[in-house]
Chains A and B, each alone.
Chain A
Amino acid sequence: MHVLTLRINGDCLKVAAPAHWTLLEVLRYELGLTGSKQGCDKGDCGACTVLVDGKPRLSCLVLGSLAEGYEITTIEGLMPAHLCAGGEGADPVQDAFDRCGALQCGFCQPGMMLSARALLNENPSPTRSEINQALSGNLCRCTGYTQILQAVESCVADAVGEDR
C-alpha cells in the first residue's frame, strides 16, 4: 500500500491504495466518490472522465500514484466549484443537461458533463462541430446525443445572453 496525497475537488486528501490501482478505483473504492463511472474500464467509453488540471482524462487509465500533484475535479466537485466562484445552484452545464433532458440511464452523464465543462472553460462559445469533437470521447448508448448537444448549446446561448 502507498499513501497518496491527492487534490480532489479542492480538498487535499491522504489515501492509502496499492500501486496498481487506477485513479478511478481510488475515487470509487477508497474515497466513495462514485460519480465517476466504471464502464468499459479500458478507455473506450469515457464514463470515467475526470478533469486533471482542467483537462478531461480517463481515470480508468491513470494510475492513482501518477495523479499526485494535479488538481482533480470529479462530477461531485462541479457544483461546489460553481458555488465557490459565486454562482448559484448547480453548474450551468448540469442545469442545462437537466433542462434539456440530456440523459436516459445517466451512466455517461458525469463524464459527458465534465468534458462539456472543460470545453466551455477553454472556449465559451464553441460551434456545433467543436462541441461534437470535444464530446467525441464520451459514448452514450441511450439518447442518440441530440439532447446532449442541445444542452451544451443551451449553455452557450445562456452565457452569450448573460454577456449582453
Chain B
Amino acid sequence: MLRLPAFELAQPETIEAACALFAEHGERAMIVAGGTDLLPNLKHELYDIDVVIALAGIPALDDIEMQGHGLSIGAMTPLARVAASPDVRSHAPALAQAASLVAGPQHRTMGTLGGNVMLDTRCQWINQSHFWRQALGYCLKKDGSVCHVVEGGKKCVAAASNDSAPALMSLGAKLVFTTTDAERSLPIEDLWVSDGIYNKSSKPGEILTRIVVPLSDSRHRGAYGKLRDRGSIDFPLLGCAVRLDLDDEGIISDCDLVMVALQARPTRVKKIAESLNGVRIGTPEFEAAVEEVARRAHKQCKPLDNIPGDMDYRRRMIPVYVRRTLLAAAEGGGPVHHI
C-alpha cells in the first residue's frame, strides 16, 4: 500500500489564481494536471512539498484551437483527446500517434499533454518506494550522493520518458509558460537540460499553459515509433519521432528525427537525418538513405542501463525503430510498435 504524504490542495479556477498560488509557495508547491505522474512520485516520496496546485478547475486550459499561426493545445487537454483530434491527426500526425501510445487507456483519459511534456525523468533506481531507496542509500536524484547507473557519476542520468516530447520537438512546437506578471513562449528544444534531477529550464512559479504546434501543409509527413515491453501501460524503452517535409515532387526538403528514453533530455539527431534531404520518397535511393540513417543512429545513440529492458537489446532496436518509423512516415502511416 502506498499512501500520499500530507499536503494542502489548492484548486484555483483561473490561470491568474494558479500563478499567484505558485508564486506564493514557490519550491514548496507543485502543479498537478492529470496526476498520473505526480501522484505515484509523491507516493514514492520523491518531492518535499507542502502544497499541490490542481489545474483541473480551469476550463480555459482544456481545448484544442486552430489559430492562424498554429494548433494551440491547452496544457490540460487529455492525451486521449489529443490522439483523437482530427486537427492534430492531420497537422501533427506524430503527436497524435505519440499521444495514442502513452501508457494505458485510463492514463490517456486522465493524463494531459501538458503533464506529459512536464513528466519527471525516470530511472529504475528512483521510481521506487522510499523504503526501497533508503535500503540502497538513495541516489543523486533524491536524498543521496551516488549514482547507481554510472559508477562515480556526478550527474543524474535519469531518462526523459515522455512520448510527446520527441514528437513536439520534431514538429518545432513552442511552449507557453505563464507567471503572475508575464507570459513567455519557449521553443520546446530550449526547455530541456541534460540533468536527470530536473531536466527542464522552467522555474517554480512558471506554469505551462499552452502548447503551440506550427501548421503544416498536406506535404508534411510524420510518425512516432515506441518500443515497450507490453502493448499498454509502459513508459517507452525507446521513442522515435520523425518529420518529413516534401516538395511538390515528393522529394524531402527538410526532416527531423528525435528520440527519447536514451538520456536525461530528448535526443535530437537531425544532423543524421539530414542525409535524407533531396531524396524522393518511395525510391530505392530513399530506402538506402533510410538504412544509412538507421545505421548512423545506432552508432551515435547509446542507451543507459537505467530503465527497464536490457540495454543492449534497446540499442539494437534503435536502427529497427528508426527505419520502421521513417518508412511509416513516408507512407503516411504509423504509429510503429511491435505489439
Contact = CB atoms under 8 A, between A and B. Distances in A.
Interface residues of A, number: 29
Given A49-B106, A57-B109, A58-B106, A63 B5 contact: no
Contacts of A65: 9, 11, 54
A61 B110 contact: yes
Nearest to B104: A137
Contact of A136 (B3, B7, B233): B233
Given A57-B110, A58-B107, A66-B56, A42 B2 contact: yes
A19 B8 contact: yes
A136 B231 contact: yes
Contacts of B333: none
A133 B106 CA distance: 11
Nearest to A56: B106
B26 interface: no
A7 interface: no
Contacts of A115: 105-106
Interface string A124-138: 000000000110110
B110 A58 contact: yes
Contact of B232 (A38, A41, A137): A137
Interface string A82-111: 000000000000000000000000000000
A55 B109 contact: yes
Contact of A137 (B7, B32, B56, B105): B105
A63 B54 CA distance: 10
A39 to B, nearest CB: 10
Contacts of A62: 35, 110
Contacts of A56: 105-106, 109
Nearest to A50: B106
A42 B35 CA distance: 10
22 contacts: A18-B6, A20-B5, A20-B9, A25-B3, A38-B1, A41-B1, A42-B2, A42-B40, A42-B43, A43-B40, A46-B104, A49-B106, A57-B110, A58-B106, A60-B39, A61-B36, A61-B40, A65-B54, A134-B105, A136-B231, A136-B233, A137-B104
Interface of A: 18-22, 25, 38, 41-44, 46, 49, 55-58, 60-63, 65-66, 115, 133-134, 136-137, 139
Given A42-B43, A56-B109, 10 more contacts: A19-B8, A25-B3, A42-B39, A43-B39, A46-B104, A58-B36, A63-B39, A65-B11, A66-B35, A66-B54
The 4 closest A-B pairs by CB, nearest first: A137-B104, A136-B232, A42-B40, A41-B2
